[in-house]
Amino acid sequence: MTKLISFTILISLLAACTPKQTQVKEDLLSLVNPFMGTDGPGNTYPGAQFPFGAVQLSPDHGLSGWDRISGYSYEDTIISGFSHLHLSGTGAGDLYDLLFMPVNKRSNRTIAENGNRPFSVFSHDEEGAQPGYYWVNLKDFGIKAEMTASSRGGVQRYHFPKDEGKAILLDLGYSLNWDGPTDTYIKVIDNKTLVGYRMSSGWAADQRVYFKAEFSSAFDSYNLFAEDKEVKNEAKAKHTKVKVNFNSANAEVIEVKVAIASSSIAGAEANFAAELNNKDFATIKAEASKEWTAELSKIDISTTNDSLKRTFYTTLYQTMLNPRVFSDVKGDYKAPNGEVENASDYTRYDLFSLWDTFRAAHPLYTIMHEARVKDMIKSLMAHYHEKGLLPVWSFEGNETDMMMGYHSVPVIVDAYFKGMLADFDAEELYKACKASAMQDAQRLDEYKAKGFVSTNKEHENWSVSKTMEYAYDDWCIAQLAKDLNKTDDYAYFMKRSNNWANHYDSESTFLRTLEADGSFVKHFIAKEYTDDYCESNAWQYFWFVPHNTQGLINKLGSADRFEEKLDSMFTYYPTADDVLPIFSTGMIGQYAHGNEPSHHVGYLYNYIGKPWKTQEIVKQIADTQYSATPDGHCGNEDCGQMSAWYIYTAMGFYPVNPADGIYVIGTPLVDNATIKLESGKEFAIESINLSDENIYIQKATLNGQDLQTSYIHHKDIMNGGKLVYTMGATPNKNLWTDASAFPPSDDLK
């Protein structure tokens, strides 16, 4: 008996020491499809990038055009090389810097359309991608090409077959769309190393890319060209290129590591030493995979709908491509004043597509990436100190002045009121915001004098849209002025925030274009696309008063009239003879989800006590306008904004006013979601009885208490807790119908 007891104790001890079975975590990288948006108007790229990384190492067809603004279109069949910089989902074409291409004797075909450069056909059956990694078989050459990236570098791996003429080309004269080189330079340091730069002008008027490239195998010879003249050791011209040759005919794998910087060759060399030195392709790919897994793991969802899960994590991935790291590891970067400046205590970011991303992408960053947000705000402020104004659409150390508004302001104000800028100089923040609002450019002189921007018959004068977006930004400044006890400024900017109403026409019940004397233009058809509405029409811009939705309701006369007009927005479809511009996509009635001014409109039913109608329409938008497929974006992805809409909507809420710290309830798409905050806290979302039929919220609780409002606050998420939706197949038309439940729509509460 004693022996039996001893044996039993031993077995128990062994069991206690045996590691517990742990649930294998789903491979989030496998759920992401970087090809989403590469077919149709999405204008995305499938290549390798680190989260918010400076390098986007992606294939280029080598052909210009609207559908190839990212360098890649799913419909094309050739690849002319792999360049290191690309734009995600924009409507303007630039970058495509540092084009590499492997070749051998198997093909010497060229075509005029790509500048008579070598190319290879490829098939999507022999191509793949996941976050931080891309591969393709170049069929003409029999070469498998692989790409991965670090934060400031990219690595290529080429599997050469047994054949002669093995070489790798670097072409600094290559350009597409708006881009063109102005000065390029290549220096051969030794038989493994190149350094140089590419200066160019395009959408970015003064772009500078310095680089260091290192080959894993020594090349036996090289051919270096300045324009069409072959030179030795160094080449400096508008167009330069180099072909490095490997004499062995044996099958071989050759890696090329490239680090870039906007500051100098020394900056690129420092980036190389910090991120790529003494590492091979597999190591760097593993680091990228680990970082992407960590970032994607910040929101953990569960759903029985596999397609929805893939769409969620793919759009989450696409929210983390921009803005991009722009300073080198020493802190140096090319500034919009043309000088090399230094970010001494932070990482400088650039590529701020603010007309798009202020709406949902930047509010999402305040939840997911608090530390990065602080550096992003410091980057906006650095731009202000260097240029005198906050950025409008900054890009590669340039101000493009693309689109309109001063939408750095809501990004700053949002972060400020969310308590993220406590260590910033609030007076300096306010000074920067006010400077952008008080300038005279962008027709702000007329806006300040008259309270509106009038039509001037010029292409893209965007008069109505400018008034409306200036008014919103002014409201944001007013809130900051109020918090800083600037009473006079608060009154001044609050008055300006109501300027949108100057365009209201009670006869048509739309916001109409004004002549310089304040009279309405005579010709007006609300569904027409004119130069007075930015990439939109009067239907789509009518709703952009996110700071004062109640004021808009009052203008119409009643909540019933507001509801009728909202209903018409989603049911009044274009006719066959309507002329729709290229950006009018994702149409549901006059609603155009493919363009940002419409993005908040589905949530406005909450402001009149009809949240069940919001639940219907946002579900319809999410189901019909997104999928994790090449044609899965209905419009330009726009640097994360299109994707951020989906992430918020899937969790059941959205920032209608991007700077008031409030998220308006929609309807959840996922059974469960857990947001893992940088503080270590978690915010959980549960959807009870959710199904394809059960799309209506019957009730909701927040931390066990009935949710009395059709919105939650940012602090509810950041404090950690749990939001529970109980779902049903029919609308609960008694939920959140009292005015006390409506989202606030004026001053911050």
Model confidence pLDDT, tens digit, residues 159-193: 999 999 999 999 999 999 999 999 999 999 999 99
- Secondary structure (DSSP) of 598-644: GTTGGGGGGGGT-HHHHHHHHHHHHHHHB-SSTT-BSS--TTTHHHH
Give the three-state DSSP class for 673.
strand
Q: Is the pLDDT of residue 717 over 60?
A: yes
Long-range contacts of 371-374 (CB under 8 A, 24+ apart): 371/678, 372/52, 372/347, 373/415, 373/420, 374/346, 374/415, 374/420, 374/421
What pLDDT score does 538 carry?
A: 97
Query: Cα separation of 202 and 185, whole Å?
Result: 18
Beta carbons within 8 Å of 228's beta carbon, 6+ residues apart: none
Q: How far apart are CA 533 and CA 455, in angstroms?
A: 10
Per DSSP, 526 falls in state: T
pLDDT tens sequence across 555-590: 999 999 999 999 999 999 999 999 899 889 999 999
Residue 2: pLDDT above 90?
no
Taking a C-beta distance cutoff of 8 angstroms, is the pair 222, 234 a contact? no
First to last CA, the chain: 74
Look at residue 20 and tell me whether its pLDDT is greater than 80.
no
Strands 705-706 and 78-79: unpaired
Cα–Cα distance, 663 to 362 (Å, whole number): 13
Q: What's the rounded Cα separation, in Å, for the pair 211 and 195? A: 6
- pLDDT tens for residues 469-500? 999 999 999 999 999 999 999 999 999 999 99
What pLDDT score does 4 carry? 37
List pLDDT tens digits, range 443-476.
Answer: 999 999 999 999 998 888 999 999 999 999 999 9
Report the pLDDT value the prediction gives residue 13, as an integer from 0 to 100.
Answer: 38
CA distance linking residue 555 with residue 565, whole number of Å: 12
pLDDT of 22 reads: 37
pLDDT attached to residue 583:
86
Q: What is the pLDDT of residue 431?
A: 98
Distances (CA, A) of 403 to 69, 546, 581: 17, 19, 16
Is pLDDT at 15 greater than 90 in this prediction? no
The pLDDT value given to residue 687? 98
Tell me: the pLDDT tens digits for 97-142?
A: 999 999 999 999 999 999 999 999 999 999 999 999 999 999 999 9
**H or E element: which one contains 362?**
helix 361-368
Model confidence at 226: pLDDT above 70? yes
Cis peptide before 323 (omega within 30 of 0): yes
CA angle 252, 96, 52 (to 5 degrees): 90
Give the pLDDT confidence score for residue 17 in this predicted structure. Answer: 39
- The arithmetic mean of pLDDT across residues 591-612, rounded, is 97
Quote the pLDDT of residue 25: 63
Which DSSP category does 427 fall into?
H
Up-side HSE of residue 715: CA atoms within 13 Å toward CB? 5
Residue 634: pLDDT over 60:
yes
| Six token digits for residue 215 | 């080959």
**pLDDT, tens only, 21-69:** 334 467 999 999 999 999 999 999 999 999 999 999 999 999 999 989 9
Q: Which residue has the tokens 């409507």?
A: 91
Identify the burial level of 43 via C-beta atoms within 10 angstroms of its C-beta, where 0-12 means exposed, 13-18 middle and 19 or more buried.
buried
pLDDT tens-digit readout, 256-308: 999 999 999 999 999 999 999 999 999 999 999 999 999 999 999 999 999 99
Alpha-carbon distances, residue 591 vs 20, 499, 544, 620 (angstroms): 53, 24, 13, 12
Structural domains in the chain, sorted by start: 35-296 (2.70.98.10), 440-542 (1.20.1610.10)
On the 0-12 / 13-18 / 19+ scale of CB atoms within 10 A, 519 is exposed
What does the alpha-carbon distance between residue 425 and residue 419 come to, in Å, rounded to a whole number? 13
Question: For residue 36, what are its two tokens?
Answer: 């989403």
pLDDT tens column, 645-661: 999 999 999 999 999 99
When the pLDDT of each residue in the chain is averaged and rounded to a whole number, the result is 95
- The answer to whether residues 721 and 683 touch, using CB atoms and an 8 Å cutoff, is yes
Please tell me the distance from the alpha carbon of residue 629 to that of residue 637, in angstroms, as a whole number. Answer: 13
Q: For position 87, what pLDDT does the model report?
A: 97
Counts of helices then strands in the chain (DSSP H, E): 18, 40
If we measure between CA atoms, which residue out of 135, 117, 116 comes closest to residue 126?
A: 135
Per-residue pLDDT at 6 exceeds 70: no
- The tokens for 63 are 């052909």
